[in-house]
Each structure stands twice: as C-alpha cells, then as structure tokens.
Amino acid sequence: MKKDTWTFTNNRNNESFDFDILDGSRGPAVVDTASFYKQSGMFLHDPGFNSTSGCASDITYIDGNKGELRHRGYDIEELTSKYKYLDICYLLLNKRLPNKKEAFDFDMELRHRSFIHTGITELFASFRDNAHPMATLSASISALSTFYFEHLDIESPAEMRLMESRIIAKIPTLAACAFRHSQGVPLIFPDIERSFTENFLYMMRAFPDGKMPLVDGKQKFIKDVEVRALDTIFSLHADHEQNASTTAVRTVGSTGAHPYAAISAGVSALWGKAHGGANEAVIHQLEMIGDISNIDTYIAKAKDKQDPFRLMGFGHRVYKSYDPRAKILKRLKDELRDELGIDGRLIKIADKLEEVALNDEYFIKRNLYPNVDFYSGLILIALKIKTNMFTPIFVIGRTVGWITQLAEQLEDKSGRIVRPRQLYVGK
C-alpha cells in the first residue's frame, strides 16, 4: 500500500481501493474520494454532509472541540477586540488587514455605493407591509441582478471586486428598507456622513425628514455604545466556514448563476430557525417561558426525551465546547447592561437559564453550552431592534463571507457543479 493513502475494503468481495490522504494547514486530514464511484461502483452515504469536505478553502477555520474560530489565521477574539467590521471585511476579501489609508478608502467606497436604484425602492411598494423582512430582502437582492447584470463579468477580477463592494454596501440599505416597509413607514436613504454600522441604525430609526426621534425634547442621537455593539455582532457573523447558507451560495454559484442570485439563495437558507433564524426563536422562547419561576418546568421538558420541546440557543452543530462568539457576546451583553442600564425581564430569564445550563450535568455532558444565537437576540433587544430584523442583521454581517466564499469558488478553475448523489429506496 502506498504511503499517505486510505484503503477501503469491500467485505462482500474482498476488493480494496486506495485513496489519497490530503493534509490541510489546520484541522483534520481528508480522504480524496472523488474517484470512489469510478473505482468501486458505489456512492458514499453521508446525510447532512457531516463528514464530507466539499471544497478547499483558506478563508475560515473552525475547531469545534477547542472552541476556536479564525479568519485568514486571525483569532476571532483578537479581531473583534482590535478591529471594526469593515476591517474584517477587508481581511476576508483581500487576505490581509488594511492599513490606515486602505481602511479609509474602503469605508468611503462603501458609503458611496450604499445607495440603491429608485427602481428597487419601487419594488418594495409591491410587497404587503406585514411581510417578513427576510422575504422582501431576499427578493430585493435577487432583483439587484436586473439592474447590474450587464455590468458584471465574473471572469474579470476588477468587475468581481466592484461587485463585492457593491453588494456589501447595499445590503444594509435593502435591509433597512425591508424593515421600514414592514412597519408601513417611508424609506430612508443612506447618509454618507455616517459610518457603515451607524448608517444602518440611522436608516432604521430616522424620521422621513432625516431627523432622529426626540426624547425629552432633545434629539436622540445614536450612541457610540450602540454602534460598537452592533458592529461586534456584524463581525461575529462575518463568516463561519461551510454552513448551510454558505453551502447554498456555493451550490448556486457552481451553476454559473449571477452572484446576486447566489447571495439571495443564501438569504433564504439563513432564514430557517435551525440556522440564522435561531436568534429570533430564542427571544420567542424566552417570552414563552415568561418568568424565572417557570424555568425549572422548561428545563425538565428539555430533558424529557418524550417531549418535543427543545431549548433554543444551546448547543451547536460544530462547537462541542463553548462557542467563541458566544463568549464575546456574553461580555458585550454585560457591558450593555451597565452602559445602557438594561435589566429587563427577558435578560433575567436568560441569565437564569444560562446559570442552570452551565451547572447542570445533563447539559454539560451533552456539550449544550449557550451559542451565539442565545446572546445576539438579547443584545439586539437591548438596542430596541424588533425581532423580525434579527435575521436580516445576520445577513448584513454574513454577506462578506458569502461573497468571499463565492469569489474563492470562482477562482478554482477545477471546480465542478455541485451535484450530490443519493441512496435510492423507492420502487
């Protein structure tokens, strides 16, 4: 047998097949089974692709057992403590952090690209005003391709770079429009005097004349702590390796579809409560629990195998220790409590749930630690953002990851259309 190969033996007929073992720069090695069907006449069966590597990537690395998350080699703790969201965007897109001038130029470019065509704003008028913002956001992103289709050659690095900046800049505007339409209030256009994150809060909150609401007779300005909190949430959502929505983006992208169509597919995938919609589900569950006195009842339900109830915001498909993003948001939640004077009913319920889960053998044995969704919803509530905007905010943060993953896929000239096989069990 050759060195660095993995041998599969078919015990039905004693046939053996060798496949190369490929080593990455971090994490587990992989067995290259691309020729498995050709050699053996069989398929590999892996529902959910839990043990399958679908691509080679140098963007994001996760070690679920250690609770480690890195972008381009940088630990997420370092990135969120030293850099802003746009710096992380630049890192993902350019494989290095920006210097001061590059950071300024990138910021200015996004500010000026944040405006959307008036035809897009007219599109929102065709949606019902009680539609979920994720539905209108997905549709409006797909519609972007009708305005920019003729100006994009995905084979051109320069045009791809322009498209990347355009989509990152416009998503917050589209998300704010989706929210304001759902509230039945006029849309607000970007203010290029404001930073990326502050501008999003401005477009969400401002009156139709562009002024901010008054509190005690004084204009309510957006607080620095609010911008810092939301910027951190964007940063923690920037990319997360080959999750369901990223896989959707890569799958659609593999067909040669327009990049905006691929991003729209990612938005639709993210909407599910098992994925990006989990933070909204966490808040609904905390409201259902209603009071600290009811926690023991719901903890018992979560432990009961016969009960379909599942505690939202605990555990993760990849992390088998504490989600590193959750650690950062937990600290941020405590800071917001002090700086904004927050001590609401839902936070009290969440604090008690967290205390029980971190000290209960049932949860510890099953690695059911609080995850990023458990805390992000609480912080967004503290920022007075409505629950139907939680997942669109996830979209804003994740867009740079999706577009970086798609660009990486397009650069791989050996790539093929994504086409899994199946185990047929019908007649």
Q: Residue 219: pLDDT band by 50, 70, 90 thresholds?
A: low
Which domain-ending residue is among 50, 70, 90?
Answer: 70
Indicate whether 54 and 175 sit together in one domain: no
- Domain enclosing residue 89, as ranges: 71-427
Whether the pLDDT of residue 409 is over 70: the answer is yes
Q: Report, as an integer, the average pLDDT of 229-254.
A: 96
Which domain-ending residue is among 70, 85, 117?
Answer: 70
Active site residue 373: yes
Indicate whether 192 and 173 sit together in one domain: yes
Which of 205-219, 228-242, 249-263, 323-337 has the weakest average pLDDT? 205-219
First to last CA, the chain: 40
Token pair of 120 as six digits: 């897009």
Indicate whether 23 and 96 sit together in one domain: no
Q: CA distances (Å), 242 to each of 52, 53, 129, 246, 341, in order?
A: 11, 9, 34, 6, 38
Considering the candidates 239, 258, 316, 323, report the single residue annotated as catalytic. 316
Whether the pLDDT of residue 232 is over 50: the answer is yes
Report the distance separating Cα 256 and Cα 243, nearest Å. Answer: 20
Considering the candidates 87, 107, 231, 373, report the single residue annotated as catalytic. 373
Whether the pLDDT of residue 342 is over 70: the answer is no
Report the distance separating Cα 64 and Cα 46, nearest Å. Answer: 19
DSSP 8-class letter at 48: G
Indicate whether 418 and 381 sit together in one domain: yes
φ, ψ (nearest 5 deg) of residue 22? -110, 135
Q: Report, as an integer, the average pLDDT of 133-148.
A: 91
7 - beta bridge partners? 18
Indicate whether 243 and 346 sit together in one domain: yes
Whether the pLDDT of residue 104 is over 70: the answer is yes
Indicate whether 257 and 171 sit together in one domain: yes
Indicate whether 29 and 105 sit together in one domain: no
21 - beta bridge partners? 31
- What's the angle, vertex CA 302, arms to CA 296 and CA 307, rounded to 5? 120
Specify the pLDDT at position 221: 79
CB atoms within 10 A of CB 322: 17
Whether the pLDDT of residue 1 is over 60: the answer is no
- Read off the pLDDT of residues 181-200 as tens digits, 9 standing for 90 and up: 999 999 999 999 999 999 99
Specify the pLDDT at position 217: 65
- Read off the pLDDT of residues 370-391 as tens digits, 9 standing for 90 and up: 888 888 888 998 898 999 999 9
Which domain-ending residue is among 70, 88, 115?
Answer: 70
Token pair of 382 as six digits: 């503290």
Per-chain mean pLDDT for the chain: 90
Indicate whether 60 and 113 sit together in one domain: no
Indicate whether 194 and 235 sit together in one domain: yes
Active site residue 275: no
Token pair of 422 as six digits: 């199946």
Specify the pLDDT at position 202: 95
Indicate whether 76 and 65 sit together in one domain: no
For residue 41, count CB atoms less than 10 angstroms from its CB and return exposed for 0-12, middle for 13-18, buried for 19 or more.
exposed
- CATH code of the domain in which 147 resides: 1.10.580.10
Indicate whether 343 and 275 sit together in one domain: yes
The domain total for the chain is: 2
Whether the pLDDT of residue 2 is over 60: the answer is no
Which of 228-237, 292-301, 328-337 has the weakest average pLDDT? 328-337
Q: Residue 94: pLDDT band by 50, 70, 90 thresholds?
A: very high
Specify the pLDDT at position 368: 86
Specify the pLDDT at position 150: 64
- CATH code of the domain in which 18 resides: 2.20.28.60
